[in-house]
Amino acid sequence: MSEETLFTRIVEGEIPSHTVYDDETTYAFLDVNPLAPGHTLVIPKTPYERLEDMPRETAADVFGVLGEIAAAVEDAVDASATTIAVNNGEAAGQEVPHVHWHVIPQFDDDTARPIHALFDGADLSDEEMADLATRIRDRR
């Protein structure tokens, strides 16, 4: 866990942001380069780098308000849905090493795509699927 990140500086007010939520563990603010009006970032105040670095209690706190924030964002911009995503690690496009959920409003008439559009897809046999499931289970 790094001591200070761009986002801890935002939480502390050293870098200005448009705050939309603030409690003991969780902070949310508008993304400076919005992908849609209302694009919000939700973070734990403690700078865990990745999702799996967060203790369960902190994850539960953040996740507990994530849905409320998504509903508030949708309501505020009159959106009909939201895409909620974490770029979890550099290879997934994470630029700020402080875990954050992107909450991005979607509108009935826009051209946004589901996250499935990001990937080419993998053609796997049932055997390979079973093997993968076992390997993942064994690592927990």
Q: Which one is catalytic: 39, 100, 102, 116?
A: 100
- Per the annotation, the verdict on 100 as an active-site residue is yes
Compute the least distance from the CB of residue 32 to ligand 5GP, in Å: 3
Nearest distance, CB of residue 100 and ligand 5GP, angstroms: 6
Q: Give the number of C-alpha atoms closer than 13 A to the C-alpha of residue 125, restricted to the C-beta side.
A: 3
What residue ranges bind ligand 5GP (CB under 6 A)? Answer: 6, 10, 15, 17, 29-33, 41, 87, 93-96
Closer residue to ligand 5GP (CB): 31 or 53: 31
Nearer to ligand 5GP, 73 or 133 (CB): 73
Q: How far is the CB of 66 from ligand 5GP (least distance, A)?
A: 15
Name the residue nearer to ligand 5GP (CB basis): 115 or 136: 115
* CA-to-CA separations, 20 to 3, 17, 37, 56, 96, in angstroms, rounded: 24, 9, 13, 24, 19
Cα–Cα distance between 106 and 104 in angstroms, integer? 7
Quickly list DSSP for 42-69. Answer: EEESS--SSGGGS-HHHHHHHHHHHHHH
Q: Which pair of tokens denotes residue 126?
A: 């049932």
Instruction: Cite the active site residues.
Output: 100
